[in-house]
Amino acid sequence: MLKRSEQKHQAIIEAAKAEFAEHGFLAANMDRISAVAEVSKRTLYRHFDSKELLFEAVLTVIQSSIDQSVRYAFVPEVSLYDQLYIITLQEAEVLYQG
């Protein structure tokens, strides 16, 4: 079971992931993130000093999930172009999963 602080941290990450996916980095709003995460803005900034650091944390979480869930084996019978195309589609799918 996660500690309360860890639960808040996770809620912020999940809310930020959705916010960045929907609005992009520039239009992402820390007020909306804190509202969706159900934490105060002060708590949000206690966990992440800036929107940039929060974005970096979200990207790290996404990359970690990709590293854990996706493995790509080279298939000699399939062209390299086709294999890279399929990998690109799979990576995009992981990025846009809610």
| pLDDT reported for residue 68 | 63
pLDDT tens across 40-83, in order? Answer: 999 999 999 999 999 999 999 888 876 666 678 899 999 999 99
* Residue at token pair 């999930």: 65
Give Cβ neighbours of residue 11 (< 8 Å, ≥ 6 apart): 37, 38, 39
pTM above 0.85, yes or no: no
What's the pLDDT score for residue 97? 67
- The domain limits of the chain are 4-95
Q: What is the pLDDT of residue 64?
A: 81
**CB atoms closer than 10 angstroms to residue 35:** 15
Dist CA 3 CA 63 (whole Å): 24
Distance, in Å, from the CA atom of 61 to the CA atom of 53, rounded to the nearest integer, reads 12
CATH number for the segment(s) 4-95: 1.10.357.10
pLDDT at 98 over 60: no
Q: How far is 84 from 82, CA to CA, in rounded Å?
A: 5
> CA 22, 24, 26 angle in degrees (round to 5)?
140
Do residues 51 and 28 touch, judged by C-beta distance below 8 A?
Answer: yes
**pLDDT single digits (tens) 8-52:** 999 999 999 999 999 999 999 999 999 999 999 999 999 999 999
